[in-house]
DNA sequence: CCTAACTGTGTCCGGTGGACACTGATGCGC
DNA sequence: GCGCATCAGTGTCCACCGGACACAGTTAGG
């Protein structure tokens, strides 16, 4: 039972007993995580190395291994600190749809602020209390809607998937510029040079080029998912 | 205009002129990509190195650089070869909903077969003809539904996001065992030990524990998205 | 036949994550 | 007050990574 994830769980969930003997630690987990977040925010996860994190904190890289077993656990700490707990402001106001919509928008801003969390949360991993609090809030918003527990979880997962997908799409455009336009430009170039073996795609892109909203894909998917949930609830209560 | 992506486009889209002079190349792009896919399929993308790919082909790692400018381009080739073109069987049979559902299921099997494509297609990247053919098929299925070009693209992107999200979730359980059960077990452990500061989540998990279907999250999200699309079309034609 | 083009190899470099032994600071039990 | 177990940070070392570059061997065209 005691696999290698146990240490990660302890790091994310505590406790973190301060030892009484020996010299005072100059660092703590939160400062290390913040330093890593600063690097990943500015230069991306690929430029994150133990050396850089240690240098930012004024220590040697090996000093970090006194706090963290390895790079993977450091990234897990960074993700937990970057995502943080779900803000509880305006809790339980409005119906499930308003609550979920608000929740999804807040989650999107968090992901947008730390785009590297996308690639950091790809594989199987241990979730921290902050991440779980986000799930808690979404499931809670669906209380009393007639959906089963599994369905409430699935709905939350579905929304998270959309948030992640949109965040990734937004990253393709860089910090400035709207994603759809740039994606459309690249695709349009390919269409023009490589001939029209994708007729439906070219037609859709030509029509999409005149579209304006830079968050159109986000709004579209969000409303479609919420519509689908509403349809299910309708079928249940009928 | 001639940025570093130009070489990637040439690699993915051709042409690949065979030189007349000099010794015959012992390798070709397809064999290299297949070797990389074999490694990534069995040991994951993190264990993919130029050395391993070269060893599998019986050459030195530097020989690969005669065909591929770098590791990133090799991975792009692998993704294109692994995803491949969208199968055109049973094309344009049934309504948009049946077509899209079939399309999404086929895409899911492809992603399940090559889970590493998830992390390989995270950042902004150049898409190959195979990937585009999948998009083409989805957009084509939505022809004549009253949706605008941008909306058809957004719908396809929405479905891809769901497929990716489910694939990631499935990876958490390893090759065997159903994802929801294992995820629920980890979460349940945390609930039990860390106390009930997530009441809604614990309740939902307790209810989800009795659920049976191992692809329930997949089916749930898929039907919700399709329901949402149907709702939009209903509003349009009304 | 010769030469230019091209392939695969060997060597080298900076950087990475991590193991390990070590020095020095610290607080508890005596 | 003192000694010693404990723990923090450092320096050194290693295997491995992606990639640059010069080189030898092979091939086809003039």
Q: Token pair for residue A212?
A: 């304006």
Q: Which of B118, B136, B201 sits opposite A201 (nearest CB)?
A: B136
Give the pLDDT confidence of A14-56 residue by residue, as tens digits.
889 888 888 999 999 999 999 999 999 999 999 999 999 999 9
Classify residue A30 by its DSSP letter.
H
Instruction: Give the residue from chain A lying closest to B124, CA to CA.
Output: A172
The predicted model gives A146-164 an average pLDDT of 94
**Residue for token digits 């993977």?**
A72
3-state SS of chain B: helix, strand, coil percent to 5? 65, 0, 35
Per DSSP, the residues of B166-234 read: HHHHHHTT-SSS-HHHHHHHHHHHHHHHH-SS-HHHHHHHHHHHT---TTHHHHHHHHHHHHHHHHHHH
Determine the Cα–Cα distance for residues A144 and B143; give it in Å rounded to an integer.
38
Residues 6+ apart with CB under 8 A from A186: B126
Residue B202: what pLDDT?
Answer: 86
CB pairs under 8 A between A and B: 205
Q: What is the pLDDT of residue A215?
A: 86
Q: What's the rounded mean pLDDT across residues B105-129?
A: 94
The distance (Å) linking the CA of A77 with the C1' of C23 is 30
Q: Name the residue closest to the C1' of C25 by its CA.
A: A23
Under an 8 A CB cutoff, do B201 and A139 touch?
yes
Domains of chain A: 5-83 (1.10.10.60), 84-172 (1.10.357.10)
Residue B85 CB partners (closer than 8 Å, separation 6+): B129, B130, B133, B134
Whether the pLDDT of residue A2 is over 50: the answer is no
User: A179 preceded by cis ω (within 30°)?
Assistant: no
Task: List the single best residue of B130, B137, B153, B172 to mutate versus A (max A Cβ within 10 A).
Answer: B153
The pair of three-digit structure tokens given for residue A127, joined into one six-digit string: 């979730």
Cα separation of B52 and B59, whole Å?
10
DSSP state of A47: G
C-alpha angle B147-B153-B154 in degrees, rounded to nearest 5: 85
Contact flag, residue A49 CB and nucleic strand D, below 7 A: no
Q: Which of B168, B162, B204, B167 is nearest to B187 (CA)?
A: B204
Q: Cα separation of A25 and B156, whole Å?
A: 52
Q: Are A222 and A162 in contact (CB under 8 A)?
A: yes
B153 CB less than 7 Å from any atom of strand C: no
Distance separating alpha carbons of residues B71 and B75, to the nearest angstrom: 6
- Measured CA to CA, the distance from residue B43 to residue B51 in angstroms comes to 14
The least confident of A129-133, A222-226, B12-16, B80-84 is B12-16
Q: Would the CB atoms of B228 and A232 count as touching at under 8 Å?
A: no
Q: Which residues contact A13 (CB under 8 A, 6 or more apart)?
A: A128, A129, B190, B194
Q: Give the distance, in angstroms, between residue A14 CA and nucleotide D16 C1'.
A: 34
List bases, strand C, within 7 Å of protein CB: 4-11, 15-21, 24-28
Nearest CA of chain A to the CA of B23: how many Å? 31
Question: Which residues from A are below 8 Å from B139, CB to CB?
Answer: 200-201, 204
Residue A195's pLDDT is 62
Residue of A nearest to B144 (CA): A200
Question: Alpha-carbon distance A118 to B175, whole Å?
Answer: 23
Residue of least CA–C1' distance to C9:
B60
Cα–Cα nearest to A129, from B217, B171, B195: B195
Percentage, residues of chain B above pLDDT 70: 87
d(CA A58, nearest CA chain B) in Å: 30
pLDDT digits 0-9 by tens, B10-65: 999 988 988 889 999 999 999 999 999 999 999 999 999 999 999 999 999 999 99
Q: Per the structure block, which two tokens stand in for B218? A: 């997949």
CA angle B1, A46, A117 (to 5 degrees): 105
Q: Record the tokens describing residue A21, joined without a space.
A: 């003997």
By the 8 A CB rule, do B39 and B52 touch?
Answer: yes
A71 touches strand C (CB under 7 A): yes
Q: Give the integer Cα–Cα distance in Å for B5 and A182.
A: 14
Strand D: positions under 7 A of a protein C-beta atom: 5-12, 16-22, 25-29
Work out the average pLDDT over B149-167. Answer: 94
Range among A13-17, A142-146, B6-10, B66-70 with highest mean pLDDT value: B66-70
The CA-atom distances, in angstroms, between A160 and each of A197, A231, B131 are 34, 20, 23
Say whether pLDDT at A160 is over 50: yes
Residues A18/A7/B178/A128 CA torsion (nearest 10 deg) = 30
Q: Mark residues 30-69 of chain A whose C-beta is closer than 7 A to nucleic acid strand C.
A: 48-52, 61-62, 65
Contact between residue B233 and residue B142 where contact means Cβ atoms under 8 Å apart: no
| Residue A226 confidence (pLDDT) above 80 | yes
> How many Å does it take to go from CA B22 to C1' D30?
15
Rg of the Cα atoms in chain A: 22
User: How many other CB atoms are there within 10 angstroms of residue B62's CB atom?
Assistant: 9
């Amino acid at each position: 039972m005691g696999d290698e994830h146990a240490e990660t769980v302890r790091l994310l969930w505590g406790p973190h007993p301060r030892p009484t003997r020996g010299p005072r630690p100059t660092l703590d987990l939160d400062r290390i995580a913040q330093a890593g977040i600063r690097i990943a925010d500015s230069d991306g996860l690929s430029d994150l190395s133990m050396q850089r994190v240690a240098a930012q904190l004024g220590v040697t890289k090996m000093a970090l291994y006194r706090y963290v077993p390895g790079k993977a656990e450091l990234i897990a700490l960074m993700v937990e600190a970057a995502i943080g707990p779900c803000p509880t402001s305006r809790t339980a106001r409005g119906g499930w749809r308003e609550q979920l919509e608000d929740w999804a928008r807040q989650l999107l801003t968090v992901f947008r602020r730390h785009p590297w969390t996308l690639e950091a949360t790809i594989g199987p991993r241990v979730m921290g209390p902050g991440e779980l609090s986000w799930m808690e809030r979404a499931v809670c918003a669906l209380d009393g809607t007639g959906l089963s527990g599994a369905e409430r979880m699935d709905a939350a997962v579905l929304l998270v998937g959309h948030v992640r997908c949109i965040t990734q799409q937004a990253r393709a455009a860089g910090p400035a510029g709207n994603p759809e336009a740039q994606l459309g430009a690249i695709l349009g170039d390919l269409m023009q040079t490589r001939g029209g073996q994708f007729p439906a795609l070219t037609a859709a892109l030509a029509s999409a080029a005149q579209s304006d909203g830079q968050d159109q894909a986000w709004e579209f998917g969000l409303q479609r998912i919420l519509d689908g949930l509403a349809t299910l609830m309708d079928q249940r209560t009928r």
